[in-house]
Amino acid sequence: MTAPKTVNAQIYRFIGKEKPETTPLTIDNNSIRFFHDVLSDKCSFEIDEEGIWWLTFFKGSIYEQVLCVGFKEDNTRKQHLYHKRYEALIKLAYYYVIDDDETDTAAAYNSDYIRGSKAIKYADHFALSLNSIHIDGRGLSFIASMETQYSQFERYILLLALTQAYRIVIEQLSTELALINDITNDKKLDELYLKVAEFNAIYFLSRPVKSSRTNVSEIWDIVSEKLLLEKISSELCNQISSLHYIISAKQQKEMKQIEMQSNDIREQRNEIINKWGLRLAIIGVGITLVDLFFNLFVK
């Protein structure tokens, strides 16, 4: 298949209910195999008859995210998918340059689609062996020096889609944390703490690409750093850990106060018992003396 000269893509979050009929997605007629198996087993990559990609991450879990990728070969900035079932996330632009004189044109073209301006220059791109990329929160610009690099661009789309799935889940968990108005609500905090721990342990991989796929793994490191994935994940973990520390300290303080109150009550009770014990002892002695006096003198 001849690669196109330019391609603009956009990643969306699918917030509808029913997906269309799809078939497995392939790149270069091969299935997607560059993610670690622990992640791949929980994902599915498909394509529908209109060429829209359907990417499901963390499948079957409470964190499941369904993303779509729409494509077009022009530079209009209109959205690919208009329906309210789709939430636009991030853009990608591909440009294949035939000679070096075309690089500035390619950068301007990609920048216009991603940012709506020509702010991204070719010099801003990170040079790789066969292509150059620029990545920020708005999108990814991909300038290829060989036609065969289009398949690499398709792999980068999957990488960027994974970053969006990660961000969505982290933002959802952060929102749940923000909505807990009463930090003394141990049950809700414990549930959220377990959810954050589970997501980080099972799904959030700092290196989700197999080390054998060096060219893709290298890009993941760049993309992850630029989109601050580790930072936002650490911030969430630190926030919830801090809350747990506060609650733990508060519970310890309350337990200490309860213990002190219990000690005070115990001391007061013992004091009362001792007083009454002394009184009863005196009364007992008095009764004994009276009884003795009665036996000795009255009888």
pLDDT computed for residue 197 by the predictor: 87
Picking from 117, 48, 60, 52, the residue whose alpha carbon sits closest to that of residue 79 is 52
Q: How far is CA 89 from CA 18, 176, 233, in A?
A: 20, 21, 19
The rounded distance, in Å, linking the Cα atoms of 24 and 60 is 18
- The 126-127 sheet, strands edge to edge: 22-24, 44-48, 53-57, 65-72, 6-14, 86-96, 139-144, 131-136, 126-127
Q: What was the pLDDT predicted at 13?
A: 93
pLDDT at 23: 96
pLDDT at residue number 276: 59
**pLDDT by residue for the chain (299 residues), tens digit each?**
566 789 999 999 998 878 889 999 999 999 999 999 999 999 999 999 989 999 999 999 999 999 999 998 665 555 556 566 788 999 999 999 988 889 999 999 999 999 999 999 999 999 888 889 999 999 999 999 988 899 999 999 999 999 999 999 999 998 888 887 665 666 778 888 888 889 988 999 989 999 888 888 888 999 999 998 888 888 888 877 777 666 665 656 556 666 666 655 666 666 665 665 556 556 665 556 556 555 665 55
Q: How far apart are CA 91 and CA 141, in angstroms?
A: 9
| Dist. CA 108–CA 112, nearest whole Å | 6
Q: Whole-angstrom Cα distance, residue 136 to residue 155?
A: 17
- d(C-alpha 80, C-alpha 11), whole Å: 9
pLDDT given for residue 12 in this prediction = 94
Q: How far apart are CA 102 and CA 95, in angstroms?
A: 10
| Helix, coil or strand: residue 101 | helix
Taking the C-alpha atoms of residue 169 and residue 296, their distance in angstroms, rounded to an integer, is 94
Place of tokens 């990329």: 133
Full-prediction pTM beyond 0.75? Answer: yes
Compute the distance between CA of residue 169 and CA of residue 174 in angstroms, rounded to an integer: 9
pLDDT of residue 296: 60
